[in-house]
Amino acid sequence: MIADAFRSIFLFAPKEGVIQKVKEISHGILEDFQYTGTFYDVVITGRRMWISIYFKPKSDVISMTLLREMYDEMDTALGQEFDDYALELVPELEKENNQKETF
């Protein structure tokens, strides 16, 4: 009972098998849409799993229409494997060497 209470309050990393399954499912879908997965952040709080997938485009363009299609496909594929989760796709953008940061 106490362990369940702690799990519902704190963030825990899932077992390595869960992370590998997320990578396995998402990798093929990312490849289909010409993206490369760079980092997978998977955390469990209580019964809910939070999945953040960072990715890089293989070209200079990110299509919002294709990004939505990829999200839907990945969400469906992950939903067949996991029950209660939230999916977040995060583009990893690189600054070109000759550009200065401006805010």
- Residue 100 inside a domain? The answer is no
Q: DSSP letter for 100, please.
A: P
Domain encompassing residue 32: 2-91
Asked if residue 54 belongs to a domain, the reply is yes
Q: Determine the pLDDT at residue 32.
A: 95
Do the domain assignments include residue 102? no
CATH number where 53 lies? 3.30.70.1350
- Strand order, beta sheet including 35-45: 35-45, 48-57, 85-91
Choice among 2-11, 34-43, 55-64, 71-80 with the minimum mean pLDDT: 2-11
CB 12 within 8 A of CB 48: no
Predicted TM-score of the model (pTM):
0.78
Give me the pLDDT at residue 23, please. 95
Q: What is the pLDDT of residues 76-98, one digit of tens each?
A: 999 999 999 999 999 987 766 65
State how far the Cα of 41 lies from the Cα of 60, in Å rounded to an integer: 24
Q: Say if 97 falls within a structural domain.
A: no
Total domains in the fold of the chain: 1
Q: For residue 4, what pLDDT band results from cuts at 50, 70 and 90?
A: low
What pLDDT score was predicted for residue 44?
87
How is residue 85 written in tokens? Answer: 């989760």
